[in-house]
Chain A
């Protein structure tokens, strides 16, 4: 039985406190945010966080530059919707299958990662995203292609004995569902990256040959990281369809992969909490800037460029540097 060092135990306790704080924030947000526009933004934030932390797991920890996240997002959205519409499966079964299908596709993509690294893997994963996009666009008999699927219903109402029914047509409940699920995924990923699994993935990221010399099976762990990352994206896709009520392939164009990558980089790659901030910032900022009219996208683009330029380690590193400057005697981690 392994012994935990006092420092690790303290960090673990601190993380649990942060989980609790996050849960309280999730529970409280809809109480303060009451209009449907901002509640929808909160749900989009939750989905983008799910996409970003998924990508960060494979990119920030396993070091695999995956630009195919939009494909897994689309796979989850389309497979779950089609399973409901064509086979009449209940949403929750379709959600589980859609998530697993995206995870399986991610594991499939990891076969490229065995042979390819860096830019080459990026190009291969980008190619994968293009292929999936083209399938969604051109397999009209199955996906409706550009004709789109409309009128997608929200997840069915849930009823527990003795409790009021939970209708997900209500944006508050849909937010609790998506944000709650995202929080659970975050906790699971956070536990993993602070366990030997995280150390194994980091070892592969830092030096695959040295990791292999320690008996680490690189291809197996890469497949694992890809599968987890793409399953998270697939789950986000399963929630996307009932949120928007409409599915068109353009929503999963490859540019979406770059947006998710930007969330990870702006937030702070390899920190897990960083992509959360990155996703929130890049989702909410353009909405806040709406009042600026035509200048909105220029200011948004400039803000992201400046953030990357002056905060190369992302928001998290900038925060640590700021804290170090303000409190030089304080503890730095």
Chain B
């Protein structure tokens, strides 16, 4: 009798669970699944770690109330900043997680490898970190980039170097990667066209650890006004310190100004110390921006992580917010999200605004913010754009 009673109770509980599960399943189905292809291992892993923070914050905020009845969930895969792992990670996400939209990768080589896969699977990919022009030129209908490409950044920084800093000579330092060579080439073309002179174009592999010889060579050239530098953080620190020791840059008593784009994370100055003095670089997030959404983002980020947000945090946050905006405008599956994304005009994120041209490249230049490192290693916003 006891056994029967226990069985009856279990059956009743199971029925209740079944009923609850059945009644709640329609709501649970209304989920936008996001696949995150982020480098979480290798030299670019700091991208992935910081991207995740921005994503988590955005999801926390959005999922409190949802958008048009949709909640958002994400699954990450380590795409390792490299073509084969990235394409493997993309296939795994697409086959097993079946996302409605993908975000990532950060490195251009990896993004270019992923693009044919997302095109074949017909799932939109939102990219924030890869600067190679090839991603949107020719690109494909399923890949969108919210950051300025290497040409937009390169032309802008070269023009500012010539016109605002009155630089007339430059030495280019870049890693020998797709993005490194491409960025340096655009700078060189623009700077030369304006009347400047490129004294040297120095490329190096990611395996180079000692930049003393390169810094000494630059010191020997004399009269270098600007040194555009395109490399990841690890090598970037070593280069900056070697340039200081060789007395080339302001931190070492020289007059040359290092220039950079979004390759370096926030906090680079603190790690580089005095060597970073006078470094001017593009960041795609200005934490001193007084727009309400930026102030709210900074405040919420500090509250959640007890850290100042970086441009990588902000970029990732904007990617999720852009997806939410698309869902608000009617996107509900891969095809409609792609179509709605393509029509995006004047989306206002914390890094700036987004409007895609016919190649799915964001054409808004207010995502480019120039920062200069002050003697106390804090930043000053140059308000050049």
Contact = CB atoms under 8 A, between A and B. Distances in A.
Contact of A148 (B40, B96, B178): B178
Contacts of B83: 148, 244, 246, 248, 251
Contacts of B177: 146
Contact of B176 (A41, A137, A150, A151): A137
A248 B206 CA distance: 13
Interface string A220-257: 00000000000000000000000011101011010000
Interface stretch (B109-117, B266-274, B310-318, B332-340): B109-117
Interface string B73-91: 0001110001110011101
B345 interface: no
Contacts of A151: 116
B92 interface: yes
Nearest to A171: B91
B82 A251 contact: yes
Nearest to A169: B120
Most chain B Cβ neighbours within 10 Å, of A145, A293, A294: A294
A37 B88 contact: yes
Interface in B217-233: none
A36 B95 contact: yes
A250 B91 contact: no
B181 interface: yes
B15 interface: no
Most chain A CB within 10 A, of B40, B92, B112, is at: B92
B305 to A, nearest CB: 17
B116 A244 contact: no
Nearest to A36: B91
Interface string B126-148: 00000000100000000000000
Q: Which of A246, A253, A297 has the most CB of B within 10 A?
A: A246
Interface string A295-333: 011000000000000000000000000000000000000
Interface of A: 35-38, 40-41, 44, 137-138, 145-148, 150-151, 244-246, 248, 250-251, 253, 287, 290, 293-294, 296-297
Interface in B16-68: 40-41
A37 B96 contact: yes
B180 A146 contact: yes
Given A40-B91, A147-B182, A244-B113, 19 more contacts: A35-B96, A37-B94, A38-B95, A40-B87, A40-B88, A44-B88, A138-B176, A145-B176, A146-B177, A146-B178, A148-B178, A150-B134, A244-B87, A245-B113, A246-B83, A246-B109, A253-B207, A290-B77, A294-B40
Contacts of A294: 40
Q: Which of A148, A251, A253 lies at the interface centre, i.e. has the most chain B CB atoms within 10 A of its CB? A: A148
Contact of A246 (B94, B96, B112): B112
A294 B182 CA distance: 32
B69 interface: no
Contact of B181 (A146, A293, A297): A146
Given A146-B176, A244-B83, A246-B109, A287 B95 contact: no
Interface of B: 40-41, 76-78, 82-84, 87-89, 91-92, 94-96, 109, 112-113, 116, 134, 175-178, 180-182, 205-207
A294 B48 CA distance: 11
Contacts of B82: 250-251
Nearest to B85: A286
A77 B147 CA distance: 33
B41 A297 contact: yes
A293 B74 CA distance: 13
A30 to B, nearest CB: 14
Contacts of A38: 95
Contact of B178 (A37, A147, A244): A147
Q: Which of B83, B112, B180, B181 has the most CB of A within 10 A?
A: B83
A244 B177 CA distance: 18
Contact of B205 (A40, A137, A251, A296): A137
A222 to B, nearest CB: 30
A35 B96 CA distance: 8
Contact of A290 (B87, B92, B113): B92
B49 to A, nearest CB: 9
Contacts of A36: 91, 94-95
Nearest to B82: A250
Contacts of B205: 137
29 contacts: A35-B91, A36-B94, A36-B95, A37-B92, A37-B94, A37-B96, A44-B84, A137-B205, A145-B181, A146-B180, A147-B181, A150-B112, A244-B83, A245-B87, A245-B116, A246-B83, A246-B87, A246-B109, A246-B112, A248-B83, A248-B109, A250-B82, A251-B84, A287-B92, A290-B77, A290-B78, A294-B40, A296-B78, A297-B41
B258 to A, nearest CB: 22
